[in-house]
Copies of this chain bind each other. A is one copy, B any other.
Amino acid sequence: MNKKKIINDPVYGFISIPYDIIYDLLEHPYFQRLRRIKQLGLTHYVYPGALHTRFHHALGAMHLMQKAIQTLQYKGVIITPEEAEAATIAILLHDIGHGPFSHALEHSIVNVHHEDLSILFMEQLNEEFNGALEMAISIFKNEYPKKYLHQLISSQLDMDRMDYLNRDSFFTGVSEGVIGYDRIIKMLNVYNGEIVVEYKGIYSIEKFLIARRIMYWQVYLHKTVVSAEQMLIRFFKRIKYLFEKNSLFEIPDSLLFFLEKPLNVTNFKAHKKTFLDKFAALDDIDITFLLKMSVNHKDFVLSTLAKNLLNRNLFKIDMQNSKFSGDHLDAVRLNIRNQFKEIDDKNLEWLIIEGSESNRAYSNKKDEIKFWMKNNQIKGLVDAFDHVIDSKYLTKYFLCYPKIF
Report which A residues bind B (CB closer than 8 A): 4, 6-11, 13-14, 27, 29, 32, 35-36, 44, 46-49, 51-53, 55-56, 59, 74, 170-176, 178, 180, 182-183, 186, 203-204, 206-207, 210-211, 213-214, 217-218, 252-254, 281, 285-286, 288-289, 292-293, 310-313, 321, 361, 386-388, 390, 392, 394
Determine the chain B residues whose CB is within 8 A of the CB of A176 once the complex forms.
180, 183, 203-204, 207
Q: Is the pair B52, A49 in contact by a Cβ cutoff of 8 Å?
A: yes
Q: Given contacts A9-B173, A51-B51, could you give 11 more A-B pairs where the C-beta distance is less than 8 Å?
A: A14-B173, A14-B183, A35-B48, A48-B55, A174-B180, A176-B204, A206-B210, A210-B210, A281-B292, A361-B387, A387-B394
Please give me the residue from chain B that is nearest to A36 by CB atom: B288
Q: Which of A175, A288, A388 has the most CB of B within 10 A?
A: A175
Give the distance to chain B from A285, nearest Cβ to Cβ, in Å: 5
Determine the chain B residues whose CB is within 8 A of the CB of A4 once the complex forms.
74
CA distance A176 to B171 in the complex (A): 19
A35-B48, A288-B36 in contact; A175/B173 too (CB < 8 A)?
no
Q: Is the pair B207, A27 in contact by a Cβ cutoff of 8 Å?
A: no
Q: Is the pair B386, A13 in contact by a Cβ cutoff of 8 Å?
A: no
Residue among B174, B210, B289 making CB contact with A286, cutoff 8 Å: B289
Q: Which of A8, A170, A286 has the most CB of B within 10 A?
A: A8
Determine the chain B residues whose CB is within 8 A of the CB of A48 once the complex forms.
7-9, 35, 53, 55-56, 59
Q: Is the pair A172, B49 in contact by a Cβ cutoff of 8 Å?
A: no
Q: Is the pair B178, A183 in contact by a Cβ cutoff of 8 Å?
A: no
Residue among B35, B175, B180 making CB contact with A180, cutoff 8 Å: B175
Q: Is the pair B293, A170 in contact by a Cβ cutoff of 8 Å?
A: no
CA distance A29 to B82 in the complex (A): 45
CA distance A385 to B205 in the complex (A): 22
Q: Kindly list the 6 A-B residue pairs having the minimum CB-CB distance in the complex, ordered from nearest.
A: A10-B173, A8-B173, A51-B51, A289-B289, A176-B207, A29-B311
Give the distance to chain B from A119, nearest Cβ to Cβ, in Å: 23
Q: Is the pair B172, A175 in contact by a Cβ cutoff of 8 Å?
A: no
Please give me the residue from chain B that is nearest to A217 by CB atom: B203
Give the distance to chain B from A220, nearest Cβ to Cβ, in Å: 13
Residue among B170, B178, B312, B394 making CB contact with A178, cutoff 8 Å: B178
CA distance A172 to B175 in the complex (A): 18
Residue among B175, B183, B288, B387 making CB contact with A213, cutoff 8 Å: B387
List 11 interface pairs A-B (beta carbons < 8 Å), by A numbering: A9-B48, A10-B170, A13-B175, A27-B313, A35-B48, A175-B180, A203-B214, A207-B210, A207-B214, A252-B293, A285-B292
CA distance A53 to B292 in the complex (A): 18
Determine the chain B residues whose CB is within 8 A of the CB of A174 once the complex forms.
8, 180
Determine the chain B residues whose CB is within 8 A of the CB of A207 once the complex forms.
176, 210-211, 214
Residue among B49, B293, B387, B388 making CB contact with A9, cutoff 8 Å: B49
Give the distance to chain B from A377, nearest Cβ to Cβ, in Å: 14
Determine the chain B residues whose CB is within 8 A of the CB of A281 once the complex forms.
292
Please give me the residue from chain B that is nearest to A28 by CB atom: B311
Q: Is the pair A312, B35 in contact by a Cβ cutoff of 8 Å?
A: yes
Q: Is the pair B292, A254 in contact by a Cβ cutoff of 8 Å?
A: yes
Q: Is the pair A386, B321 in contact by a Cβ cutoff of 8 Å?
A: yes
Determine the chain B residues whose CB is within 8 A of the CB of A286 once the complex forms.
289, 292
Determine the chain B residues whose CB is within 8 A of the CB of A10 once the complex forms.
49, 170-173
CA distance A171 to B49 in the complex (A): 9
Give the distance to chain B from A81, nearest Cβ to Cβ, in Å: 14
CA distance A288 to B281 in the complex (A): 13
Determine the chain B residues whose CB is within 8 A of the CB of A213 once the complex forms.
203, 387
